Structure 1
Amino acid sequence: MEQEIQNELETITRLTNMVIDFFVNYSFQVIGAIIIFLIGLIVARSIGKFALKLCEKNSVDVTLSLFIASTVKLLIVAMVLVICLGKFGISVAPFVAAIGAVSLSAGLALQGVFSNYGAGFTIILTRPFVVGNTITINDISGVVTEIKLAHTLLATEDGEIITIPNKHIVGEVITNSFANKVVEASVGISYSADPEVAIQVIKQSLAQFDELSQESPPQVGIEAFADSSINIAYRYWVPTDRYFEVQYQVNLAVFKALQTADIEIPFPQREVTLKNAAAE
């Protein structure tokens, strides 16, 4: 029993001596590392805020501004950690090699995710569109509501939210009509009607709608000479979030206006001639 107690006391003594030796030999390094780390955190936070304010001052996109500020802060913290480890005589080379190997494996496994982030970074830098624009990509159209590093969100008139990974945006043909979208329609009138009168009637119908954009005035004219009608085409710009609603109202107004003006809207007709069979 006394021997066991003696062994435990010796163990405690050795541990105590090790702790004392450590603080005697590395006390200044520990204190210095803690001070350097705390100062580094303060400096990293301050420089991060400064970078964010600088980006906001130069009207840089919000997402890109936050990304730059966070990256600057992380880089400074990483450098401070390297300095603190050096105070203890710890070589960071093995850690750098290990981080490199892990990063390579993670990069291969997550290359799809990283490609979205890279594409998002490109979108924010080049700004082919901004929040509030109406864009069309691969027959997908909507109003841009949010641009993130990984994906872009579009909203439709029906309240649907479309999420497009950014890698499917960069490199594709993008149609940007900004806040509005063009409506293209046509109506056929009889060859006996005066097309100039029909064009004027349609223009008056379009002028009744305040929703139509005045920056790009409506266009009305003869589109084609069909078999049984003269096709009058009309184009106008409307807010994207009311595209179908306004289009349906305009079509009804045009139809009623043509009826009121006694302008005939013909329908296809076919004449069939029957011949008597030759007498036997």
Structure 2
Amino acid sequence: MNEQLRTLDHFKASAIDMAVRFGPKVVVAIVILMAGYLLGRWVGRMTERLLRRLKFEAPVRVLLVRAAHLIVFGFFVILALQNLGVELLPLIAGLGVAGAGVALAMQGILGNVAAGLTIIFTRPFHVGDYLSIGAEEGEVLDVTLFSTTLGHTDRSKVIIPNRKIVGEIMHNYGSIRQLDLSVGVSYGTDMEVAYRLVTAILAENTRVLKDPAPVIAVSNLGEFAVAICVKPWVNVPDYVAASGEINRAILETFRREGVEMPVPQREIRMLGA
């Protein structure tokens, strides 16, 4: 019984000694962490305002705001550990060795992260732009640290790892695209009439942009017809729909106005043996 009482007294004395020695340090460490969290949120809000002024896309803003918050909070975590008397050099050395092993095992992921940071800071394209990268093309729907998502007119999506984008030849159409249409008319057609009809068709189509101005010109003198190229500008989401609407309007208008659109013909003569 006496032995148990002495053990309990020893435990109480040790607990009181630990509380006296480390209690104030723990309280100060908690205060430091709370201050770091609050300061990190304030820095995040300031970063958000700055990035909005610089017109960064929403995914990029979220990433950079979180990074700023974590950096500030991480600095205060180091201060809290130092206040508790934790030796940081051995901890940093251990983290360095572990980080090297993780880096070797995650080369592909880290490559995507590095490429994602390159895209974020160089900004070769924005959300809403229409890109062509290698065999893939589409409208940019989202840009993250690891990948970029392209959307097609058939509502499908292509997710491309960022390391497949950086360093590749990229065609950025921006937010508008130019249609490349063509219509053939006979050599006897009054070209001024054909130009006037096509111009009126484009002016009536609400998808066609007024600026830049459409291009209407003779593109080829073919064997059977004169080819007129019709190249109006439209917004990226209207590309497919506008193409169909304009082709139909040209066909119906030319038929109504009597503009001949010849089809290829071959004359075959049979010679007697």
Global fold match (TM > 0.5): yes
Q: 1:157 touches 1:240 (CA, 8 Å); kept in 2?
A: no
Q: Which of the numbers 47, 58, 82 marks the counterpart of 1:51?
A: 47
CA deviation string 1:127-153 (max 9, x = no partner): 222222222222433332332222223
* Pairing of 1:1-280 with structure 2 (within 5 A): 5-277=1-273
Q: 2:139 touches 2:236 (CA, 8 Å); kept in 1?
A: yes
Q: Do the aligned partners of residues 37 and 252 (structure 1) sit closer, same or farther apart at CA in structure 2, a change above 3 Å counting?
A: closer
C-alpha separation between the residues in 2 aligned to 1:219 and 1:88?
73
Q: Which amino acid aligns with 2:140?
A: V
C-alpha separation between the residues in 1 aligned to 2:93 and 2:236?
52
C-alpha separation between the residues in 1 aligned to 2:158 and 2:68?
32
Q: Which amino acid aligns with 1:261?
A: E
- Choose 212-221 or 44-53, whichever is displaced more: 44-53
Q: Do the aligned partners of residues 200 and 55 (structure 1) sit closer, same or farther apart at CA in structure 2, a change above 3 Å counting?
A: closer
C-alpha separation between the residues in 1 aligned to 2:183 and 2:95?
67
C-alpha separation between the residues in 1 aligned to 2:134 and 2:63?
29
How big is the shift at 1:58? Answer: 4.3
C-alpha separation between the residues in 2 aligned to 1:43 and 1:208?
57
C-alpha separation between the residues in 1 aligned to 2:186 and 2:52?
60
Q: 2:215 touches 2:231 (CA, 8 Å); kept in 1?
A: yes
C-alpha separation between the residues in 1 aligned to 2:21 and 2:241?
80
CA deviation string 1:231-262 (max 9, x = no partner): 11111112222222221121111112222332
Q: Is there any run of 5+ residues in structure 1 with no aligned partner, and where?
A: none
C-alpha separation between the residues in 2 aligned to 1:25 and 1:173?
63
How big is the shift at 1:224? Answer: 1.1
Q: 1:229 touches 1:266 (CA, 8 Å); kept in 2?
A: yes
CA deviation string 1:190-232 (max 9, x = no partner): 2233334333332232222121011122211111111222211
C-alpha separation between the residues in 1 aligned to 2:148 and 2:70?
26
Provide the secondary structure at the position in 2 that maps to 1:232: strand
Q: Do the aligned partners of residues 35 and 257 (structure 1) sit closer, same or farther apart at CA in structure 2, a change above 3 Å counting?
A: closer
TM-score computed with the length of structure 1 as normaliser? 0.84
Aligned identity (percent) is 27
Q: Do the aligned partners of residues 48 and 246 (structure 1) sit closer, same or farther apart at CA in structure 2, a change above 3 Å counting?
A: closer
The higher radius of gyration belongs to 1
- Choose 259-268 or 245-254, whichever is displaced more: 259-268
Q: Is there any run of 5+ residues in structure 2 with no aligned partner, and where?
A: none
Count residues in correspondence: 273
CA deviation string 1:141-174 (max 9, x = no partner): 3332332222223333333333232222222333
Q: Do the aligned partners of residues 33 and 214 (structure 1) sit closer, same or farther apart at CA in structure 2, a change above 3 Å counting?
A: same
- Choose 90-99 or 40-49, whichever is displaced more: 40-49
RMSD: 2.5
Provide the secondary structure at the position in 1 that maps to 2:49: helix
Q: 2:48 touches 2:65 (CA, 8 Å); kept in 1?
A: yes
C-alpha separation between the residues in 1 aligned to 2:197 and 2:18?
95
Provide the secondary structure at the position in 1 that maps to 2:223: coil
Q: Which runs of 4+ in 1 moved over 4 A?
A: none
TM-score computed with the length of structure 2 as normaliser? 0.86
Q: Do the aligned partners of residues 67 and 19 (structure 1) sit closer, same or farther apart at CA in structure 2, a change above 3 Å counting?
A: same
C-alpha separation between the residues in 2 aligned to 1:95 and 1:121?
28
